[in-house]
Structure formats: C-alpha cells, structure tokens
Structure 1
C-alpha cells in the first residue's frame, strides 16, 4: 500500500517538474477558491426569525381594554379615569390565562358599568409591561380602588369568586343606618368590625379615611372576605355596640368578649387597625383552597391536628344555608363560656340569711358544692327549690335553697372543645374546585351532596360521615371522634 502511494507521489512530482506552469496554475486556482469561502464563512451570523406581532387576546366585542402590545402607559391612563379598576396581566401562551379568559369576560359583561377592566399582554418582549414587571406566574390580577392599590387577587379565577371579590373592593364598608341593620350585620357575619364616625365637622373625617383604607388593606390578607367592615354615623345606633366616642372601632366576637380599639395604647393608623383586627379576631372555621390534588397548604393544616373537612357546593354570590349550619356546629363546638356558660356549669348552692341588724334584707351566698346538704336534701322531693330550716338563733335564722342547673346531654357538642383532649379544626372546601380530592377521601359520585370527613394524621385515622345521614348527625359524628 505504501509503495503504491510513493509511486503515485513520484509520478506527480515528475509531471510538475516537466510542466511547472501547470503546477502554478493549480495552486493559484486552489487559493482563489479557498479565500472567498473563508471570508464568507467568517461573516455569517446566526439567523433568527423575528417573532410575529401579538394579536388580541380577548374578543373585540368584550367590554374591556385589551392592551395586547403591553402598553403599560395606556393602562395607567385608564386607571385614572375610573373609581374601581381591574388589571388582568396575561401571557398568550399560558394555559391558566386561556382558562381564565372566559371567566374574566363573564364578569366584565356584568360589571362593565361600575368597573374598568383592562387586560395587558405582559409577555410581548417589546412592550413596556414586560420591561417593567417581573411576574413569576400568570395570570396576575390587580384591583385598584380610587388609585389605592394594587390589591392582588389570589383566589380561584372563576366568575363567581372574582365577582364577589370585586364587589368587596367596590364597597369595602357597609353602612348601617339602624339598630336592626346593625344586629343583622353582626348575626350574618362571623367576624365583624364596626366603626363609629361623626360626619358633622367634615364630609370625610380623617378617622373615617383610615378606617376605609384599613378595610381595603384587610382584603389583601383575607381573600375569602371572612372579616367584614361596617360604618355607623348615628350615636343611637353606635350605642348598640357600646360605642360612645367618635372614631371608635368595635370588633365583634361571639365566643369571647368583644373589643374596642385601644386608642390610648396604639396609634390609629391603617396598619395598626388591620393588625389589631387579625390578632384578636375569632375564626372557628376556615376556607382552604389547595392547588390541585397534591398541595402543601392542605398538608400544613392537617399537620396541626385532627381536622374536619366539609366539601360543599359554594357560590360566594348567594346565601348558603348549608354553610350556615356547618358554621353553627363549629360555634357550638367552641362555645365554652358566654351564653353557654349557665347550661354547662355545675349545680350551685345558695344560702339565704336574715340579719335583723341590717333590716329586712336578704343576702345570698353561693358556693360550688354543698356536699353535706346534698346527702340530706336527697330525701326531700321538691321540684324547683329544696329549702331546709337548719337553725334558729337569737340573731335570726338561716335557710338553704339548692337549685340544680340542667346539664347538657352526654352526646352534646356544645363546649366539647373544653371537655375533650383532642382539639378539632373545621375547614371548608368547594366541591366544584376540589371534587377530585373529595373522591379520594371517600366521597360518592354525586357532587351536589355535601361530603364530611375527619382526618387525624397523628393517629392515622379517617372517618367519613354516611351520605344517608343528615347534618344533624354531624354533632354526634364529631362527639364520637373527640372521645
């Protein structure tokens, strides 16, 4: 093989020696071909096709401004023209944005007369929104109340939930003109805050502005609207919640004593009022919204202890009788004092004394138990009061009257939290959003029925309320678990 190659090389050298002009021509031709190719390849750059210009994300007939080129300056101009505005930041390729589009459009059709709806494409690289905003996920929904904001909406992007949140932003305060309206407000809402302000000196007192901003600020921490704010301007109505001074704030609580904002201990600022409300509020039942079938938010709640999960169809825009019943059960479970105290307390022993030195007066002394008298009074059959004349003296006489206070039945749920070693937490979930999770926990195929289950991760137990049972058996179900 090597001999053949050597022979060919010798033959080529001999030919070049015989014809030198042919050799020089071949060399020049080769250089002429290589040089242009080298220069051309050195100047070539990677060619990338420019992206197509974005199109409208919402239909042209939708009652909203679709800024599909990311014109953030136009969005700022529109915000100044309306009292309440909603800005929907989207990416055209995002599946969540595509699913939320129809819900936002439905709400815009219903509230277009009261709310300014703006949609901004924040993915277009040449738009101002992409250059100034740094969002980690889409869609992002911001609400503005008279340039106060943004108030980010983090709830389910469904028409009824979004509309309910917009209504709370549009009317953060409820005006209570009468005592009846005040009592109705306190009854309907589990957590209520009432502010009393006199509008005699100014059309909008400074304290009222702070209270209004506190209600808006609370919506950032309370997406479900569990805490409701109301305002009273009449002194007689304010007396219904024992408010006497102007610019007073009252926090209504059902299980413990209600509170009045301590003006002497805290500054009356937006942050101070909001922090005071969330530090002292009562929450016997919580809404949770886990994302998908697996969620760290649900796991974090279950790690706290035994949990009662109630799956029920829920529409935030309509009254829900089933939700009221579940809330009443939770209130009974946590009621350890207050109005329930007399029905739970032990029998008392009252002693009536007649003292001639003090005139015709009677003094009643009450102790927890009268053990010696109870043994003797068992022989006396009196319905309401057992009275025994025990002694006479030169200074008068004394008698004993023992009344037995009725005790709750053994299976009553009232005050069960204080009579049990296991504290049960109550949670609510919407079946329309979390039906897959409910089925994995043992729910039937009928999504219209409520599903109630108790989960205890520590004991590795799982209880399911039968679908044939009514909510009245809910109390027995809870009582059985805690014991």
Structure 2
C-alpha cells in the first residue's frame, strides 16, 4: 500500500530529511554540482512523501464511509403475512377456523358429543387433497358428528403459537365428550374416515347374553371382552371405554371388536372369577389379562399394549399409507405368501370374499394335534353360515322398499308402545333366544376354559352331536366344508333359520295413556329413533355402493371341495395370507402382471414364492373350491409358474420403454429399429427362423451404450447379408422362462438363425465391456461356416489402416485352414459312404475358397472388385453344399460329432 525505499541511499536520504543542519553551508558548496543534485533528490523525496499522505487520506476516508454505511444500514424488509382466506367453501358443512382460532374451535367442540377436526396448512398438497375427502365424510355424518377444520399455519394465530412444531400435515383428530382426542392414522379417504367415526361413536358392544358374544365371534377377527360390572363406581368401565377408543388409533378399520359385560351374574356364568377382568378371544386361542402385583394394573396403557401385542389373525389386512413403509416386510421372511386383491370397503359389516379367505386360512392353520382344534373347527362353521346368510341380503333393495312412516298430524293423548322382535339391523339391541344352544355352550366353554373341557371330555363325538345349529343349512355341512353347494340347494330349509335371526321389521303396538309428548313432536321417541337409524343406515349403504358394490364369491355348483385341515403342519414352511384393497392399491397387482381392473369384481389371488423367485396367479373364478384347490396344488407343487408381464393401461406402474414394439416404417431401410419385447412376444421373436436375434435383457431401461452396440451390430450383420434384428426387454417387469433367466443386468443374448424347437442362445460375458464388435463376434460363433466367412470378409473392409486389414485377412485364411483340417479329419474317420461324399464336396469347395482368399490383397477389399466377387461366388457354392442331411448323420456311428 505504501512505497518503500529500494536502496540504502534512499533510506539515508529519507532519514536525512528529519535532521537539522548543524553548520551553515557556503555559496561554493551550494553552487557545486554535488549540492544541486542533492537538492533535486530532496524534491523527489518530498513528492513521494506527499503521494503517500494523499493515499493514506483517501484510504481513511473510504474506511470511514464504509463503517458509517454499515452502522447506519436500514433493517431488512419483511413482507407482510398474507391475509388468511377460507380453506373450505362457504357452503360446506365443515366449520372452517381459517384464522387459527383454537380456543373458539375447542369451545364449540365441547358442546358436541363427537367432533372430527382437521388441522391443516393451506399450502400443503396433502391437505388440499384430504379437503375433498373430509368434505365428503362430513356430508354423510354431519347430523351425528361435528366437523371442523383449523388453520394451524397462519403466522401469529393462536393455533400456530401453541403448535409450532407439527412435522407433517394434515392431522386428523376425533374428540368425544368423555375422553381426550383420538388421532386418526388410517387412509385419507372418505369411506375410511366414516368407518372410523362409526367406531368412535360406538366403541363398545354390550354383551347381555351368550348369543351376543357368539354373534361377535362370527363376524370379527378377534373380540376383546371387558368384565366391568357397574356397582358402586363406573371407573373400571370408563377405563375399558378409553381402551377401546385408544386402540382405534392403531386399528382404524375395527378388526378387533370391543365388548363389555356389566352384569356380575353373566360374568360369573362365563367363568370369570375376579373382576375387573379382560379376555381377548382369538380364532385359535383365548388370552386372559392377568395383572401382576407392582407391575401391571387396570389402566389404559397396560390394557392397550396387552390387546395389541396379543392380537393375531389368520389373514392380515394390509393398508399401505402412501409413505415409505414396511407393511410387507414382516411377511417377506422366506416363506411364500398368498395375496388376495379384492375390494375391501370398510363400510360393509362383512366382506364375503375376505371372510371366505379367513375361513380357508383358519382351516389351513388348524392343526389336528392342537388343543384349539375343536374350537376353531366349530368357529369356521359358524362364520361360514354367517357369511352365506349375509350374501343373501340386499341392503339397497331393502332401503328402496322400506316404508318410512309419516308422523301423525293430530296430537294424541295415547303413547304407542313399540315392542321389537328384530335382530336384523345393528341398531336394534334385542337378541333372539330361541336358537339352539348347542354351539353357543360349546363355543363359550371352549373359549373360556378350553383346556378343562378337553381334559374332562373323553368322547368328543357326543359333544359334536349337539351341534344341530348348522344341520338345517345343508345336509353335508358337518361332513365337508364349505357347504356351498348344499347351502344353495337347500336354501329353503335355511329360510326359516334366517327368518328367526334376521326377520323383517315387525312391531307389536299397543296404546298406553301417557303424559309424554306425542311421537311426532318428540325426536327421541322410540319410533323416531328407529326411523332415523334406518335413514342413516341406508345413507351409509348408498354411499358405500357408489364406491364399490358388494361382491360375493362364485357359487360352488359341482365337484368335490379339497380339504385343507392342518395342511400347514404337513409342510416345512408357512403360507402367509394377506388381503389388499384392489380399488385403492390396484397398482400393486399391476406390478405383479395382473390386470386387476379387467378381472371379475376386481378380485385376484396371487401366491409369491421368494424361495424360487416365482409367482402363481389363480386363473379360475374366485370361489370356495377354487381357492382351496389353488392352495393345495401349490403345496403339492402342481401349479404352473405365471410369467409376469407389464399391463399396458397401468397408471402407477413405471415402465421404461415404448408403448409397443417398434417396426421399420419403410422410410429408411438402413435404419435399425430396436423392438421392445414383453413376456408374450419374447418367444415368438427369438424363434423366428432364418433370423439372428440380438436381445438385451436389462433391469429397467437399457442404457445408451447397450442400445448403440445393438444397433451397430445389427447394421454390420445386415450389411454382410445376414438377417438380423435387435430387441430389448425390461426384466424387472417382464418375466422370462427359467432357461432364459439372467443373473446380471444388462445381459446380451444372441439367438442363431438355424435352429429347431426351443431357441438356444449365447450370452455376452458379463464382465466385459459391451461393444458392437463383441456382439458381432458373439453372433459369428452361432453362424455356419459360409456365413461366418462372408461376415468376416465384410468386417475387413471398414478399417483404414493397412495393418488392421492384413491382420483381418490373415484371421480369415487361418479360419479356412482350420475348417479344411477339421472336415478332412471327419472324412478320414467316417465309414458311411454317403457321408464321405458330402464331406468330400465340402472339402472341394473349401479348397476353392482357400485358393481365392490366398489371391486376395488388401487393396481388393472394395466394391465390384473382380477378385472379391470370385471369392464371394465360391462362398455361395460352399453354402449350397455345406448342410448335410440329418438322416445321413444318424447313420454315422463315429463318436466324434460333426460340427458346423
């Protein structure tokens, strides 16, 4: 920055300026040349000093201005928060607290029995999608549930200040008056939300008698029963009520049915010794909650964990949440799995297709030497009858024909007492008691104290003889299950049983003097409540039918049904059984090569066997017989492997390639087109006679290097007079037969032109770099000698260096010499006259080719060259006399084979 003295003289001169002269100088000294030069140097030094001072001054001024600007800089301007606007439409039934008024929203929810709240961020894409589904659910349940939405993103709002660290949006929470919020973690669609809220409104089923418990066992995967008598306090009942609510955070579709027994006498009859108590009744076992001292007690946390840890079901219902999850990972343990793709509409009380698979799974896992075998066998029969009866119901027809009674206009001093004898609809809590009690007593004894029953019972046949409950629904029901054929053939016999269980609405009415309001003015009267529940039920069924109509398995009309009792115990592996909703998750089936949308009822069954990397698809219509035969044939290894292929109309299945195979369009004959193969077109493509097929098998999309090598190799072969085609195949989405399965991607396969029957291929070395020359060299090995020589000769022309051409011609000559020596050896060894003549003609033409190629020079490798044309003509004559009749070869007994 500052100038410095470069020499010792300058340093002394600068320092001399600071000294005062001690003696006066004379005039002679001033006028002398030495004195004048001294004065000039002093002037220069003064100028240098002045320049330094000016630069220092400028630097100081700049530094001062910079410091002043930094200290007096204006604060950063922040844009104002945009004004909050409505997220839901103004005519929506959802109360939108779009300014984030959390306290006002909570105050309004406190006055409602059940509220469903959506905490959202307006900019979030997931919140924008859920908004439509949330509004649909509100339109269905607006008369029973209060729907609200709170903007928890608006800066400065009350909700944002209290909840500033929400990881993701939206958050859905259900609130009840008697409990804290229940977080909804299920699918973000309207039907699942409606089903979740129906569970929240009725979390517990009251068990008044043994028939109620049996009914729950027949339709639920598991039943959790809490024995909480209402004596002095309702504390135990409230805890069990909260357990049911809390469990729905994890069981959003209600696979576990919660029930409560409030009668001490009924609890004692069911074998409960101490109260409060809880029992989880599964399909093959009954778990009892045993609180230990100082470890567990009757509280919500322990009970919820106990129920969820002990819950087990024969068929697992997987609900992908559209995030990175591991729903299938626990079943991918090396054992095969059966996946049922079917509509799983949660609004229906029963799903016959799913229920059928559950019966089959219970039968498959029910080992004969297991203590729970009798319990499971009878439960299968009970669930089968419930399923068959449910399949005969037509809820839409019932809703259309149901006559809603209009209220009486004139007030009446009489109150009409209504006594119902109906157990068809879920809102009626009256239970028939005229059923045969054999199966009821058996199920309860087996479920509550199964070990004691088996120990005390020496003859089980007498025990089963009491099961008359099922006999009038099919003569062969006790002999072979399922009794599908017998049920439909003898449905008239079952009609009386169905009328007993599910008769139409019948009332006994009698007039009683009362001071109550007439029913037309009383919305809570028995008749009005029943009318309102029928309307609500019909509204749910109509909404469910719009999403997916009810479907049932195909009827079994003929043929014997295969028995699967305990088949899982006869094999060294376990077949996991899974059910997936085919409406919301149809892309999973498409990825497996199943065109689920074109299947009947969008239903398909697939077995995946990871041990052998194979899959099997049920080709027949889904029924009780076909699914059992499907499982049995798999265990006996009688199924034919299904080759997975891409679905053309798949919307969510990624595919790297063109829509269909690409063929030449005739505009450019020299262009090479690469065909995209599928599982169905592969075999036809590679078995085309007279054509060399070059196929690249890739894991996804083939790279540019592979495609370029294929196209160039096919172009070189065509230029040499060989019919060649190039193709590629995505092995991740198109399965190939076992003999063509590759172990590394990409793999190049060359299929020769001369072949018979199954196509044989040659594979490019996986460790080598893919190139067009390597592909051509691999193709040459599959060609006959005349074609091989012609292609090799054509490959010698393109190189520009003479050394490369000489080396190429040398290789061709050596190849001809090798062929002559090999065929001469065959001619000497054979004793068959016809074969010797054929080999002799080969040798004649080979010597002719050797003569012409010995006369060929590198300068003759041009078009229309006379020497090259003679060589090509000799190659044509060799091709005509090269092939040998197979009948002549069969007469040759010489062990040495004759190669091409």
- TM bracket (short chain): 0.7 to 0.9
The answer to which structure, 1 or 2, has the higher relative contact order (CA under 8 A, 6+ apart) is: 1
Deviations 1:396-442 (A, max 9, x none): xxxxxxxxxx9999963221221111111111111111011111112
Give the Cα–Cα distance (whole angstroms) in 1 for the partners of residues 73 and 229 of structure 2: 79
Mapped contact 1:302–1:456 kept (Cα < 8 A): no
Give the Cα–Cα distance (whole angstroms) in 2 for the partners of residues 95 and 240 of structure 1: 55
Match of 1:461 in 2: 614
Helix, strand or coil for the counterpart of 1:259? strand
Give the Cα–Cα distance (whole angstroms) in 2 for the partners of residues 313 and 437 of structure 1: 13
**Would the alpha carbon gap of residues 215 and 100 (structure 1) be closer, same or farther in structure 2, given more than 3 Å must change?**
same
Quote how far apart the aligned CAs of 1:302 are.
Answer: 2.5
Q: 2:577 aligns with which of 411, 415, 426?
A: 426
Give the Cα–Cα distance (whole angstroms) in 1 for the partners of residues 610 and 623 of structure 2: 26
Helix, strand or coil for the counterpart of 1:463? strand
Mapped contact 1:255–1:334 kept (Cα < 8 A): no
Give the Cα–Cα distance (whole angstroms) in 2 for the partners of residues 109 and 297 of structure 1: 32
Deviations 1:174-193 (A, max 9, x none): 11223222211121111001
Larger deviation, residues 295-304 vs 320-329: 295-304
Mapped contact 1:253–1:282 kept (Cα < 8 A): yes
Quote how far apart the aligned CAs of 1:67 are.
Answer: 0.9
**Would the alpha carbon gap of residues 70 and 147 (structure 1) be closer, same or farther in structure 2, given more than 3 Å must change?**
farther
**RMSD between aligned alpha carbons?**
3.5
Mapped contact 2:186–2:321 kept (Cα < 8 A): no
Quote how far apart the aligned CAs of 1:299 are.
Answer: 4.0
Helix, strand or coil for the counterpart of 2:602? coil
- Aligned pairs for 1:374-453 within 5 A: 412-444=563-595, 445-446=597-598, 448-453=601-606
Larger deviation, residues 186-195 vs 463-472: 463-472
Match of 1:192 in 2: 223
Quote how far apart the aligned CAs of 1:260 are.
Answer: 2.9
**Would the alpha carbon gap of residues 268 and 339 (structure 1) be closer, same or farther in structure 2, given more than 3 Å must change?**
closer
Give the Cα–Cα distance (whole angstroms) in 2 for the partners of residues 481 and 182 of structure 1: 37
Match of 1:358 in 2: none
Give the Cα–Cα distance (whole angstroms) in 2 for the partners of residues 325 and 468 of structure 1: 14
Deviations 1:266-318 (A, max 9, x none): 42222222222233333212121224497543345334632211111121111
- Aligned pairs for 1:71-82 within 5 A: 71-82=101-112
Match of 1:232 in 2: 261
1:470 aligns with 2:623: yes
1:262 aligns with 2:290: yes
Match of 2:151 in 1: 121
Deviations 1:26-45 (A, max 9, x none): xxxxx9xxx9xx96996455
- Aligned pairs for 1:220-369 within 5 A: 220-235=249-264, 237-238=266-267, 241-256=270-285, 258-263=286-291, 266-292=296-322, 296-303=326-333, 305-318=335-348, 319-336=350-367, 337-338=370-371, 340=373
Based on CA coordinates, which of the two structures has the bigger radius of gyration? 2
Q: Which has the higher strand share?
A: 1
1:146 aligns with 2:181: no
**Would the alpha carbon gap of residues 343 and 247 (structure 1) be closer, same or farther in structure 2, given more than 3 Å must change?**
closer
Give the Cα–Cα distance (whole angstroms) in 2 for the partners of residues 53 and 343 of structure 1: 62
Give the Cα–Cα distance (whole angstroms) in 2 for the partners of residues 129 and 223 of structure 1: 26
Give the Cα–Cα distance (whole angstroms) in 2 for the partners of residues 294 and 132 of structure 1: 29
Quote how far apart the aligned CAs of 1:173 are.
Answer: 0.5
Larger deviation, residues 47-56 vs 299-308: 299-308
Helix, strand or coil for the counterpart of 2:229? coil
Match of 1:182 in 2: 213
Give the Cα–Cα distance (whole angstroms) in 2 for the partners of residues 420 and 217 of structure 1: 39
Larger deviation, residues 119-128 vs 265-274: 265-274
1:50 aligns with 2:80: yes
Helix, strand or coil for the counterpart of 1:459? coil
Larger deviation, residues 57-66 vs 261-270: 261-270
Scaled by the length of structure 2, what TM-score is found?
0.40
Give the Cα–Cα distance (whole angstroms) in 1 for the partners of residues 141 and 278 of structure 2: 32
Mapped contact 1:424–1:482 kept (Cα < 8 A): no
Quote how far apart the aligned CAs of 1:341 are.
Answer: 6.1
Helix, strand or coil for the counterpart of 1:453? strand
Mapped contact 2:582–2:602 kept (Cα < 8 A): no
Scaled by the length of structure 1, what TM-score is found?
0.72
Give the Cα–Cα distance (whole angstroms) in 2 for the partners of residues 57 and 95 of structure 1: 12
Give the Cα–Cα distance (whole angstroms) in 2 for the partners of residues 81 and 407 of structure 1: 56
**Would the alpha carbon gap of residues 89 and 467 (structure 1) be closer, same or farther in structure 2, given more than 3 Å must change?**
farther
Mapped contact 1:451–1:467 kept (Cα < 8 A): no
Give the Cα–Cα distance (whole angstroms) in 2 for the partners of residues 475 and 160 of structure 1: 31
Show structure 1 runs of 5+ residues with no match. 1-30, 345-365, 367-405
Q: How many residues were matched structurally?
A: 391
Helix, strand or coil for the counterpart of 2:590? helix
Quote how far apart the aligned CAs of 1:335 are.
Answer: 1.0
Larger deviation, residues 437-446 vs 307-316: 437-446
Give the Cα–Cα distance (whole angstroms) in 2 for the partners of residues 343 and 50 of structure 1: 67
Give the Cα–Cα distance (whole angstroms) in 2 for the partners of residues 156 and 324 of structure 1: 22
**Would the alpha carbon gap of residues 176 and 461 (structure 1) be closer, same or farther in structure 2, given more than 3 Å must change?**
same
Match of 1:87 in 2: 117
**Would the alpha carbon gap of residues 482 and 271 (structure 1) be closer, same or farther in structure 2, given more than 3 Å must change?**
farther
Quote how far apart the aligned CAs of 1:224 are.
Answer: 2.5
Q: 2:97 aligns with which of 67, 80, 97?
A: 67
